[in-house]
Structure 1
Amino acid sequence: MANGKQLAEQNLAIFIGWVASKSDTDFRKIIARGVLSRTEIARECGFAKSALNQNPRIRNFLHTLEEQLRARAVLPPLSPHAHAEVKGAAETGRSEMSATDQKKTERTAIEGRESELLHRLQSENANQKAEITELRRRLSKYESLHQALASTGRMPR
């Protein structure tokens, strides 16, 4: 069984992969009270809701994500009271993270996006190979028909 640090890393990787797989439209569907629904995020990621609050790296990554979504007008702007509350909580969380933790988080985020992109491209490649194989099979059937018509002199004009 994984220890706490390994579980935290695993949850962070799952969360980063989940973020990479979502579009702005997907994020709009899970907005609750001006923020992303923590319950929905935890359900889709497959871990407990408490992981979003207790894991400082996930908490900071989620806060950064929500700021980015607000900048892109996906999430509504915060009220002045809520803005001060969120800012204070984010600074507390940031002070807990060292520079190396932030670099690891960024590196993990990049690796998660790259992994998601690689998976998507591999899937697309496999689909295209299957389609090409099917089209070649169909073409070979028509090639023999074409040769038979040409040899008998019945080619359409």
Structure 2
Amino acid sequence: MQGTAKPTAEVARNMLELANRGIAALQNSPSGPWIALWAGTVTLLRTVGHALVVDAKRDPRLSVAQQEWWIKVQGHKSNPGENFKIFWHFIDKDKNNLLHDAIINASQSVTIYPEPRGAIYDFKMISGPYSGYDSTKLVKQAATWWVEQIAEIERNAV
């Protein structure tokens, strides 16, 4: 409901926090169930955008700001530039590849050395504009992008 307080995107922020937990688990448990953590984290990153719609239903000011933001994002789909590249070429695309085509665009490898060096894990994106890029860094960048987008929406909710 609309009030005098500045509206916040609570649901989207909560979803982003869940994604951040997935990111932390990917980085802290490289030998764990990596593929499940990856799939869940990528899906949660995309769900932040859907949660913004839920937030928008709570306050008309947030609704207007969210709709204007989404129109801007959609306007950059065919030519995303640097600001929207991470959304269209990673957050949205990899979620669609995963959920619609069962394609995972990230890999994990390990090289084991004698002690004291031990195991060295390597995480890479497989294809697309982020091919060869460290996938754990990419999910962190995606989360940072969402923080910036949510803050912009909240600033514009007047």
TM-score, normalization: structure 2? 0.29
Greater gyration radius: 1
Comparing both structures, which one devotes a greater share of its residues to helix?
Answer: 1
Comparing both structures, which one devotes a greater share of its residues to strand?
Answer: 2
TM-score, normalization: structure 1? 0.30
